[in-house]
Amino acid sequence: MGVEARSVRPLPGSPKRKLRNYLLDQRFQLKYTGMVVGVTMIVASILGALAYHESKGQTEALQIQLATQPDLDPAVAAGLEAFGAERDREILLAIILGVAALTVALGFTGIVITHKVVGPAYKLRMLLTSVAKGPLKLEGGLRRGDELKDVFNAMHDMVQQLRTRREGDLQQIELALHAANQPGRTDDVLRLLNDVKSRIENELH
């Protein structure tokens, strides 16, 4: 009998991810996402501040140039200054909205990416708990797009090997029980049982 669910493809009829289920390990996911978002906000804010400072510098240069042209129509000068000030406000608003949008996008992306790691880790922990309490058999698998597939396959191989060894031990015990029911077969029974005992001792050392 082989171990079930070798494939990491999603099982038929398996429940789809829901938004509220993306935070399986809130502490890890929010910590990782917060670090990424925080660093990105700092860098984006610095770059935005430099861009806004550059825009303000151009506006101030325009004001100085207008001040050196006394013959310029005051209405035209006022219009140019108003245009420069409006341009500065538009750039500042664009920077703020851009940083906010980037923060939201990275926050959502971070949660989704960490879910692809935390989700499989949670599933693997549940499978290991099930194997520890019950039969040496994996039931279920990872979903399409999940990470840690190599870890799942390694765990599958481990359980398969444990199951194969246990099946061999069971066969030896069955042979020993059969021999025990035969007259004059005491040595065979002891030999078979000692073989099983030796294999189990080797696995524990």
pTM of the model: 0.53
Supply the DSSP symbol for 10.
Answer: P
How confident is the model over 33-56, as pLDDT tens digits? 888 889 988 998 898 889 888 888
The alpha carbon of residue 54 and the mean position of all alpha carbons in its chain are separated, in whole angstroms, by: 40
pLDDT higher than threshold 70 for residue 20: no
> What are 77's two structure tokens?
């000068």
CA distance 111 to 106: 8
Determine which helix (DSSP H) or strand (DSSP E) holds 129, and give its type and residue range.
helix 74-133
How confident is the model over 3-19, as pLDDT tens digits? 444 444 443 444 455 55
